[in-house]
């Protein structure tokens, strides 16, 4: 290891201690580093800073080979967006077997993209040899069918997601 690598390793160790990181592994080609500290708990607060430090540690090596000055930019990750946020879930009122159409060869009651009205039949759930028509409890556009034909259904299980109008 050259003096710069040793200095970077010392800086990394200090950083890991400061942010109470319990374990750290780095495997890059012929360079393998494993650090383990005896600490009660690890914290996630320093992970973005750790990513910046690692990027800056490897950037000078690549840049010196190419003769270019490195420029490192680290931005915080955007919060995950829930794709089902704001959608209404039609849930099963009974336990049984889900069927999306009136008979095996018939067209489905609804499909993604279909517009439904409150009270419209959207599927059948068979329970104890009885075919129970399940009606939509909201008006809107069907976004997704969350179960498949012939699937056993539990009480309260989401069946369809609907974008309300």
Domain locations in the chain as residue ranges: 3-66, 88-164
Return the SS3 of 56. Answer: helix
C-beta of residue 118 within 8 angstroms of C-beta of residue 125? no
CA distances from 135 to 38, 91, 142 (A): 59, 10, 13
pLDDT > 90: percent of the chain: 45
Given pLDDT bands bounded at 50, 70 and 90, which one contains residue 96? Answer: very high
Can you tell me the distance from the alpha carbon of 4 to that of 2, in angstroms, rounded to the nearest whole number? Answer: 6
What pLDDT, in 10s, does the model give residues 34-66? Answer: 777 775 544 555 666 766 766 666 655 554 455
The tokens of 127 are what? 């329970």
pLDDT at position 158 over 80: yes
pLDDT at position 75 over 70: no
User: pTM for the full model?
Assistant: 0.50
- pLDDT at res. 120: 95
CATH 3.30.70.2660 fits 88-164, yes or no: no
- Sorted by sequence, the CB contacts under 8 Å of residue 109 that are 6+ apart come out as 100, 101, 102, 121, 122, 123, 124
């Amino acid at each position: 290891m050259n003096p710069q690598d040793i200095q970077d390793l010392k800086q990394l160790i200090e950083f890991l201690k400061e942010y109470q990181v319990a374990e750290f592994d780095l495997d890059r080609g012929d360079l393998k580093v494993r650090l383990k500290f005896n600490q009660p708990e690890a914290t996630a607060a320093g992970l973005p800073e750790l990513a910046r430090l690692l990027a800056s540690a490897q950037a000078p090596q690549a840049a010196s080979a190419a003769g270019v000055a490195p420029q490192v930019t680290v931005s915080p990750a955007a919060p995950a967006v829930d794709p089902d946020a704001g959608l209404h879930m039609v849930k099963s009122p009974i336990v049984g077997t889900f069927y999306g159409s009136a008979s095996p060869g018939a067209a489905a009651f609804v499909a993604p993209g279909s517009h439904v009205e409150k009270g419209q039949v959207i599927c059948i759930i068979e329970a104890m040899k009885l075919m129970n028509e399940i009606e939509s409890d909201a008006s809107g556009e069907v976004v997704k069918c969350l179960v498949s034909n012939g699937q056993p259904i539990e009480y309260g299980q989401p069946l369809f997601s609907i974008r309300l109008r």
